[in-house]
Amino acid sequence: MDDRPIGVFDSGVGGLTVVKELRTQLPHEDLIYFGDTARVPYGSKSVPVIRRFSLEITRFLESQRVKMVVVACNTASALALDFLRRQSSVPVIGVIDPGVRAALAHEQVRAVGVIGTQATIRSEAYQSRLLRLRADCQVVAKACPLLVPIVEENLVATPIATLALEMYLAELRDRRLDALILACTHYPLLKEAIAAFLGTGVTLIDSAEETAREVTEVLQARRITGPADRPGTEEFYVSDSPEAFMRVGEPFLGRPMRQVFVEHVWKRDLGLGPDATPL
Q: Which of 69, 78, 103, 184 is catalytic?
A: 184
184 included as an active-site residue: yes
Residue 80 half-sphere exposure toward CB, CA atoms < 13 A: 32
Which position among 22, 32, 71, 73 bears the catalytic label?
73
Q: How far is CA 197 from CA 17, 92, 95, 167, 193, in A?
A: 22, 35, 25, 11, 6
CB 116 within 8 A of CB 90: no
Which amino acid is present at 269? D
Cβ contact 6:25 at 8 Å: no
Q: Would you give the distance in Å from CA 221 to the centre of its chain?
A: 22
Largest CA distance in the chain: 57
Give the neighbor-by-neighbor strand order of the sheet with 203-206: 138-143, 111-116, 179-183, 203-206
Catalytic sites, residue numbers = 73, 184
